[in-house]
A and B are shown apart, each in its own frame.
Chain A
């Protein structure tokens, strides 16, 4: 039991920020994969940023106007993050500091990135 665990840990390769190999992309969708805290945190962070940028571009292009759409973005991105780690990956959130820690990963940077892209696309495309 313990020996198997240590073997697993030894095999874990050091995570390289921003450079995912194809095999590691497969891991992103594998509920059986084991995650260490930093890896999962990094993945959730970058998913948050992509969502912020994508929603900002979308909201700005259509355009969706009004503070309500900020709330909708928050709810949407949080729902997606939760679905990802709780439903798709099926991780035990207590091992990673609880729901709060996982949902907060990259949140503030994502909000500012969303606002930035929303404002810029809206300003450039519609005036």
Chain B
């Protein structure tokens, strides 16, 4: 079957990217169904946004004015609330993480069966160390600039999924950044 780009020696690279793009969309659709459309997520999200902005305002004010004990207590309370909401959010997302991981794993297996031992692209640089292990996975031959499906898939997974999430507004709120993760580290007091 003839299709555009089939004349290119490394059109398989485009196939990998196309499949990765579709996979990213499927994963975000799954996440939307399981998480983002639910009321509990929306409530959590808005409470994190509010607490985060409140914290920013209070910290800015506390820098300008003299630090009072009551102010510090308020800041601590808002910080605690923010951390709790962030933890709840992480646990909430953990639910769909398994499904998304399964999809990614299945797609990787599919691509692996299609392109095992096949050079899907040519690298414009010589990789080394861990990168070379990934980019040369399952390939014969000694040319380090040969690129395997695994490396291309890795690049796609990060770049496409991250930007898709950002574009759709599914990225985690920034206020949760510091406390993100299941076990937020206790942060040193600024004051």
Contacts and interface: CB of A to CB of B under 8 A. Distances in A.
Interface of A: 16-18, 37-38, 41-42, 45-46, 49, 52, 59-60, 63-67, 69-70, 95, 106, 108-109, 112-113, 115-116, 118-120, 122-124, 126-127
Given A37-B174, A65-B125, A116-B159, A42 B11 contact: no
18 contacts: A17-B169, A37-B174, A60-B124, A65-B124, A65-B125, A66-B125, A67-B126, A115-B155, A116-B17, A119-B121, A119-B123, A119-B124, A122-B124, A123-B9, A123-B121, A124-B13, A127-B10, A127-B122
B125 A69 contact: yes
Given A119-B121, A120-B17, A124-B8, A112 B159 contact: yes
Given A118-B124, A123-B121, 11 more contacts: A17-B169, A37-B56, A38-B174, A46-B166, A65-B125, A66-B126, A108-B158, A112-B154, A116-B159, A120-B14, A120-B17
Contacts of A42: 166
A70 B131 CA distance: 14
B25 interface: no
A123 B122 CA distance: 5
A76 B9 CA distance: 31
A72 to B, nearest CB: 12
B51 interface: no
Contact of A119 (B13, B56, B163, B166): B13
Nearest to B122: A123
A59 B123 CA distance: 12
Interface in B134-160: 147, 152, 154-156, 158-159
Interface in B93-145: 121-126
